[in-house]
Structure 1
Amino acid sequence: MVTLSLLFAGSAVAGPVQLQATFDNPTIYTEQPSPHYLEVLVTAAPTTMTLRKRLPLNLALVIDVSGSMRDENKLTYVKQAAISLVNRLRPEDRLSIISYSNEARVVLPSSLVKMEQEARWLIQSLRADGGTNLGAGLIEGYHQLREFTSPRTISRVLLLSDGKANVGITSSAELSRMVLQEADAGISLSSFGVGLDFNEDLMAAISESGRGMYYFIDRPESMQKILAKEFNSVERLVAADIQVTITLDPHLRIEQVFANTYEVRGNTVSVRFGDLAAGERRRMQVRFQPRQRGVGSLNNAARVQVSYSTPGDGGTGSLSQHIGLAYVKSREAVNEKRKKEIAERSAVFEASLARKEAAMAFDRGEKKRADSILDKVKNKIKGLAGSNRRVQQEVAEMEEYQKGIDQPMPAHERSLMQKRVKHKSQAVESY
């Protein structure tokens, strides 16, 4: 168990993980406190610093072969990508292949990768027909992995689907509970939504519960490139089940958390970042409103703790950092201490959340509500745009999306727009 603690510092490092926690401004104006932001960045050490042998992989490819996978040659592209993945496996790796439509079928039981030609032939033999029993595919995928899951392997389900769960278990909450239980047992999951007909909310939810990644593949021909990206991350995994706990001083009231998976209890925020490969990072922010008080310091304004496990040895690690704030009487002093780069990233988080909430409101048929959400945040962040290209781009994308929901368009274009907006909000943690 590695533990490290820094007081009033910008970063902390333990093993393969680095923590940076920073306020957008270390000072608060006593007379009229305004909302502030706390930013937390967790980074995995680059490959050159990990100095460890690549761990054996224990993978399950769970492939949707429902009838709609025939459209746009989706299954053809998925099979090509799966074969490309097989070509990169090593003799010590294990692979299982499960297909599902109305029911799940074990195409290849979990096997050491010594008969690559057989695996390629079995993938090539897949045919599309029937409904989408996603739950059955997952259950069988986990079953194939469970016997060979250990701290010395990396176990992951790769779920590829183009549809909605319409047979068997169809509840997003029930599927997410199952995936979370398996993740707690050491099996993570990444989901790949192919085309325009899949349920993006479900695919995002189960990837979050599974501590993996969610990918939106609007062009099936890009499947091979995206699956290769996921494989690269799995190969270089250095920290798993990363959890961040933030506790703010009672003088600071939490307004909004900008993270994909989090829970708020009183003044404590718990965030799950999932797994990190070498060189990857996760970033989040908390917007809070300081309560009015006199001049003075809050030495422990925020206490940030990070815990994780280390693949390969079953070990764990943790980091902690305490940072302070000061209440001052001078508005000028507050303005001088403002950290522009964090404020600009705050604008990106605000815009991303606004688009996601507007997209969900629009899905419910609440167009006026969607417009209201976008207008409010757009006006809020315009003042931060200045010459920052990223913030200007966020404002422009919000305006473009707002125009999109105000005009009629074909169903497939509407679906594409909604999925792109929601997927981008999931990816903002990595920027």
Structure 2
Amino acid sequence: MNTRRIPRAPVKSAAALLACCLALLWAGAGQGQAAPLQLQVAFDNDHIYAGQEEARYLEVLVTAPDAASQRPRVPLNLALVIDTSGSMEEQGKLDYVKEAALAMISRLRPEDRFALIAYSTKARVLYPSQPVEQGQQMQWLIKSLEAAGGTNLGEGLLEGFHQVRNHARPSVISRVLLLSDGLANIGITSNEELAQLTLAQAEAGVSLSSFGVGLDFNEDLLAALAESGRGMYYFIDHPESMNSILAKEFKSVEQLAAADIKVNINLGSGLVIEQVFANSFEVNGNQVTVRFGDLAAGERRRMQIRVRPKLRGAVRLDNAAQVSVSYKEPGGPAAAPLSGRLSIISTEDAAAAAARQNKEVLERAAVFEANHARQQAALAVDKGEQARAAAILSEARKKIEAAAPAASPTVQSELSAIDSYSKSVSKPMKAEDRAMEQKKVKHRSQAVEGC
């Protein structure tokens, strides 16, 4: 089995959303309007010119319709885990966190449970998980938070999971909200160990969303935790936006439409997988499994696979792609799976093949290619490998120019973004400016899945 995990961040990046929100081709079978989820599957072209071997893109889109928000609200079982290390005092970060936390707890209902954990050098359970009844006490505890000490993120995380797990059950939504502005430098500091710990909790029904504030936090860790925890990752570059972002997360939890969404894709033997564009996936032969985590009403997750057809002559490959989606309804058992299937035709008529092109899917393929390249280049820059980063970006540009619609404003926008980042890679830059750019590039490359 070939497994690849990329830090997940389906946060709504405006640039990525504008680039991706195009007309959709319904190619898969979905349930009715009242269904919690809908499935769409499509190739960028379901015909292949037999005289030329070229890549094809398979797109899978899972959508939770707005109508899902009309369902009865499921009780919440939450823990807010707040970094109170000394650096949180800078730029008034902790003050903004307090304000956002107070606004969030004001929306809790009597049937909800809430826990408050603060961590610095050690973790402290300030408000053990209990029904939301003593609002004044919670407010006082939040207002009394002070910044000092190191960053024992692992211990804070463990305490948050402990408080939520003790009261987790199928009839409630259980989630930990983790907020940090720094690195895990005390206790458990291994990214992999922390991600595995989070994955185990997610398997037991406790999800996690992470919030990174400022320029000094480890974005790779917080993104990986949200991926493993099947929640959301938020990059908060301006502390004053904390209130609106935490409110957005709370609304997503309140209006959760489907949990633990898993997509299984079986490709026909005539197709060879070249690249999977998803934040969390596994590849086993010609089977791809993608984890989409949770979806709130009105949200969607999209992924693509670049495949290389190995068909000869005029043939039809039935079941070129078979897609199934499993998930759980909040507060209930596993729902009936969704499914869709596609065929692909190899033809010796070049004009017939060209006429079948789905430009919208191909445009989005350019977005996925560009964002994937920028993310890989950003990881290379982190290691000081600027030449390798430049090579990654150059190769991606050539691939997009060769395959995507050249006149498309979306494609041109992505090519311009590649050029801009490529120029900055070798340019001298202040450390704080470089940190900001790296976080923005990584965040944008991850957020494309939520377009």
Query: Normalising to structure 2: TM-score of the pair?
Result: 0.92
1:280-327: CA deviations, max 9, x gaps?
100000000001312111111011111001111223331111210111
Matched with 1:3 is none
Separation in 2, partners of 1:317, 1:58: 25
Match of 2:154 in 1: 135
Q: Report the RMSD for the aligned CA atoms in angstroms.
A: 1.3
Give the match for residue 224 of structure 1. Answer: 243
Q: Secondary structure at the match of 2:336?
A: strand
Q: Distance in 1 between matches of 2:315 and 2:423?
A: 47
CA spacing shift, 1:69–1:399, aligned 2, 3 Å: same
Q: CA deviation at 1:336?
A: 0.5
Could you say which residue in structure 2 is the equivalent of 1:347?
366
SS in 1 for 2:259: strand
CA distance in 2, matches of 1:30, 1:390: 29
Relative to 1, partners in 2 of residues 1:315 and 1:49: Cα closer, same or farther, differing over 3 Å? Answer: same
> 2:214: which partner in 1?
195
Contact kept, 8 Å, 1:193 with 1:200, in 2: the verdict is: yes
Q: Which has the higher contact order (CA 8 A, sep 6+)?
A: 2
Contact 2:300 2:450 in 1 (8 A): yes
Residue 333 (1) aligns with residue 349 (2): no
> SS at the partner of 2:335?
strand
Partner of 1:382: 401
Partner amino acid, structure 2, of 1:37:
Y
| Separation (CA, whole Å) in 2 of partners of 1:412 and 1:33 | 46
Separation of aligned partners in 1, 2:58 and 2:412: 22
In structure 2, which of residues 285, 305, 311 is the aligned counterpart of residue 286 of structure 1?
305
**Map of 2:39 onto structure 1:** 19
The answer to whether the 8 A contact 1:239-1:275 is kept is yes
Structure 2: distance between partners of 1:326 and 1:127:
64
Would you say the 8 A contact 1:347–1:391 is kept in 2? Answer: yes
The aligned residue for residue 21 of structure 2 is: none
**Match for residue 420 of structure 1?**
440
Q: Distance in 2 between matches of 1:410 and 1:159?
A: 29
In 1, Cα distance between equivalents of 2:91 and 2:48: 56
1:380 deviates by 2.4
2:419 maps to what in 1? 399
Going from structure 1 to structure 2, the CA distance change for 1:145 and 1:49 (only over 3 Å counts) comes to closer
Which one of 195, 199, 211 corresponds to residue 230 of structure 2?
A: 211
Within 5 A, what are the aligned runs for 1:237-316? 237-316=256-335
Is contact 2:28–2:341 with CA below 8 Å preserved after alignment? no
Q: Check conservation: 1:310, 1:317, Cα contact below 8 A.
A: no
Aligned partner letter, 1:289: R
Partner of 2:449: 429
CA 1:379–1:315 in 2, change beyond 3 Å: closer, same or farther?
Answer: closer
Which digits, 9 at most, give the CA deviation of each residue in 1:211-266, with x for residues without a partner?
00100001001000100111110000010000001111111000000000001111
2:118 aligns with: 99
* CA distance in structure 2 between the aligned counterparts of 1:410 and 1:222, rounded to whole angstroms: 24
1:40 counterpart (56, 60, 63): 60
Distance 1:380 1:202 in 2: 30
Residue of structure 2 equivalent to 1:5: none
The aligned counterpart of 1:74 is 93
CA–CA distance in structure 2, aligned partners of residues 403 and 30 of structure 1: 39
Is the aligned partner of 1:233 residue 2:252? yes
Q: Which runs of 5+ in 2 are unaligned?
A: 1-25
Higher mean C-alpha displacement, 377-386 vs 145-154: 377-386
Counterpart residue type for residue 426 of structure 2: D
Q: What is the aligned counterpart of 1:319 among 338, 341, 354?
A: 338
Among candidates 32, 39, 58, match of residue 77 of structure 2 = 58
* CA–CA separation in structure 1 for the residues paired with 2:440 and 2:424: 13
> Is the 2:362–2:405 contact (alpha carbons within 8 Å) kept by the matching residues of 1?
no
Find the aligned partners of 2:220 and 2:171 in 1 and give their Cα distance.
32
| Structure 1 residue 11, shift from structure 2 partner | 3.1
d(CA) in 1 for partners of 2:414, 2:284: 31
- Give me the whole-angstrom Cα distance separating, in 2, the residues matched to 1:144 and 1:309: 23
Identity of aligned residues (%): 56
Residue 438 of structure 2 aligns to which amino acid in structure 1?
Q
Tell me the SS of whatever aligns to 2:447: helix
What amino acid maps onto 1:124 in structure 2? Answer: K
Give 1:181 deviation, angstroms: 0.6
- Cα separation, 2, equivalents of 1:114 and 1:244: 40
Measure, in 2, the Cα distance between the counterparts of 1:69 and 1:153.
Answer: 32
* Higher alpha-carbon deviation: 97-106 or 401-410: 401-410
Partners of 2:437 and 2:343 in 1: how far apart?
Answer: 42
**Structure 1 segments unaligned to the other structure (5+ residues):** 1-7
Q: Secondary structure at the match of 2:337?
A: strand
The one-letter code of the counterpart of 1:53 is P
Q: Which amino acid aligns with 2:51?
A: E
Shift of 1:425: 1.1
Partner of 1:167: 186
Partner of 2:50: 30
What is the deviation of 1:389?
A: 2.5
CA contact (8 A) 1:32 1:292 kept: no
1:4 match:
none
User: For residues 225 and 9 of structure 1, what CA distance do their matches in structure 2 show?
Assistant: 36
SS state at 1:315 partner? coil
Q: Deviations over 1:309-355 (max 9, x none)?
A: 11112233311112101110011111110101110000000000000
Larger strand percent: 1
Q: AA paired with 1:382?
A: E
Quote the residue 2:11 is aligned against. Answer: none
